[in-house]
Structure 1
């Protein structure tokens, strides 16, 4: 029996199916595995951050899109996990998962992006978008189309494998592997996903024609993602269909698809998910800053009102003092002129301090004696009649 040589970096207990995960000579497997594992961890952290920021999102339009973004992030995490199916060797389960999940996961991602483009086209023109459950139903409807297509294709390749393998003999379990399909057939099974990519590109371009510019930033992000995706898909399709046959042969098929998965998934994270979460957090900070400014403005308004009231009171007091000032002319007017003792509530009564202050100020222009009335020992009721009676008695004595 021929002895199996263990690859450098793999232990004796590692099966031959998983040698690409630990073989240090197979550089592409180790590198792609590291990027895929980091992507899974990072996607989980972003998913927790997205859910944690949901209670603090006040804008209902941003709040409605959180569900679609969560589905998009789950499908992106699935792309990172599917990468390991292309790193390990081929068997019945790994090939079935490759054939089915490649189109399904990409279909879920681009269904979310397309529904988000539809929402942004509505928001950029009306500033009011559909409800979150409507968006999720739209994503589900678009995604189920790809699920049905891949399910039918998987059944055909498993139940009637001789149609795919082009062999006259009935294949055994060892040969009835769904990976033994032509590269062109694998690409043709993704026609619906390519249609979704083209629809995302067109829908993201129409966002730029709206009047509400605040939603155009997210549309620009989706446009950048779609353009990067088109470039990645063109590269891996050309390499998978034409390049591998001329250069490395079928042994380059798995690295081509694995690198395409990791590259596209990281573009989704970096160019869309991270900016979206940052936008939600910045919205929370803007609202707190707005509340602080509102309270400060209210405080300034209250102080302004107090100042206006105090200035108004000072103006009334100054006006009252000006009314009590004597008129400079032929005669002096007493501050008690017109006072009869009966209209005490309606006549302004200056205090002694006010009269003294006014007298000191008026001495600069004219010198006169200030007579300050003193309270008499008599009752208040007879204080108004005391002076006339005195003048009457003096008249009688003179007579």
Structure 2
């Protein structure tokens, strides 16, 4: 099995080498007259940043696998190079860095032609890179950039004996709402070793959507066990189901938040920007349409929705009220403010009736928040 795994790794390395070689044909037309080794790799990173990042992650991933094998007293399997070492070991790179090739390029160098080629490549790569950036940004739209304090609980519960596929799906879906190294490592491990096909595919898709390197493992060819092929769905879950989970000490009951964001759903853009700023300071935020989007669908609003929100407020240290024209008309916001006041916890506000410019790039939460209760 180890030989087969190594052959798959070598085959993928060959495909990556071919891809880089094709890209270098374009790079070879835009280099400085007296280019260096560093010029070559820098130009590749500049025009193919996502390919480079995936290569870095891939090589690190396989280096970590070798370290793990050694820790188990098993010899290395992959002998993975660093991304830089892999790049400079390619025949095309060695050829371009040879003395003869550099002299030839220097002698035939025409600045006008090179500038034209640079303009053409920049145009093509800008479009391609912007498409990738846009796709990743869309995937991460509601993701928080802070590691949840309950991550260890979730991972422990995921690996406990007897866990159902539905419970695994809930945990994986919940953690997919966070964009941190720790969560990425969790999904990498699922992509490598999870036996259920559906969960493994979910992990792979999450990594790809967030712009990470991932390789989808081929399915087992023999007769499969039920736990490998079982499929479950969270399409029909309701607020009542989440409330039951919160009361029954399921993983959801272990969640804790720094801020409960009280707002109007019509102000999502503002809420996302404020949440991002709070994340930068290490604060985890609760927002119903991002954290509990699966259970609290608008079409299933009921009294259980209120009960769930009460528990979420009890799990939160502070409430941050986003005062806007929309939130001032919201019965839900009024309910949240009254209940949080009953809890005796701090309530702060950001008044967007006054701050209409919303320059979040220069926004400092500590300077504009005011304690109102």
Per the normalisation by structure 2, the TM-score is: 0.23
Higher strand share: 2
TM normalised by structure 1 equals 0.22
Structure having the higher helix fraction is: 1
Pair member with larger Rg: 1
